[in-house]
Every structure is written in structure tokens, then in C-alpha cells.
Amino acid sequence: MARPSRLPRRVRLGRGYHLTVVFVSQTILRELADIENDELLDGYWDSKLGTTNGHAGIIYIHNRLTTAQRWGVYWHELLHAVNDITAFDRDDPVVI
């Protein structure tokens, strides 16, 4: 199955969790990750678990990447999100 060219902007996971996907500049990525050296980032997972009802967090992706690169970063950061949600849900289960 060919994957779509456009990434989802909102993803639902598990029992009532959702996250958003946002494209940002390298400057914003570096600010979010609190990086002060010359390291470049392709993406960043910003967990919001426990701070808002159901909003798990935000996947930030560098806006200058190709579509194929964006998909690679998306899957990488989504895995971080799934791992964080799994651990959080074990400690603080959502009741729906």
C-alpha cells in the first residue's frame, strides 16, 4: 500500500489520547529542545501528558524536509509518543 503524501495533522491514540503534528523552522525546533549548539533537528516530540485532558502532545517536524523525510521523522516521533502514552496510561489510566 502506498502511503499518502500528506501527513496527518491530528492523530488519535489509545483510549482517548490525541496529538497534533506541526511543521516548524529549525530555529523553533532548537528552541523547543533547548539546544544551544549547532546541532540540527529533524523533529521533536513535546509531551503534554498530564497537563491537558486527552491532549498527549505535539510532534514538531522541520518544515524544510522532503515528504519522504517528513514521514520518517513522523514515524520516529510517533513511536516516542506511543511509548510515553503507554507508560503514562499504566500510571494514570484514563477512564472513558
* Within-domain flag for 1: no
Q: Where are the beta strands (DSSP E) in the chain?
A: 10-13, 17-24, 43-47, 55-62
82: left (phi over 0), alpha (psi -120 to 50) or beta: alpha
* Within-domain flag for 96: no
* pLDDT score of 27 more than 50: yes
* Within-domain flag for 5: no
How many separate domains does the chain show? Answer: 1
Structural domain that includes position 31 = 10-91
* Within-domain flag for 3: no
* Within-domain flag for 82: yes
pLDDT in tens, 45-76: 999 998 878 889 999 999 999 999 999 999 99
* Within-domain flag for 21: yes
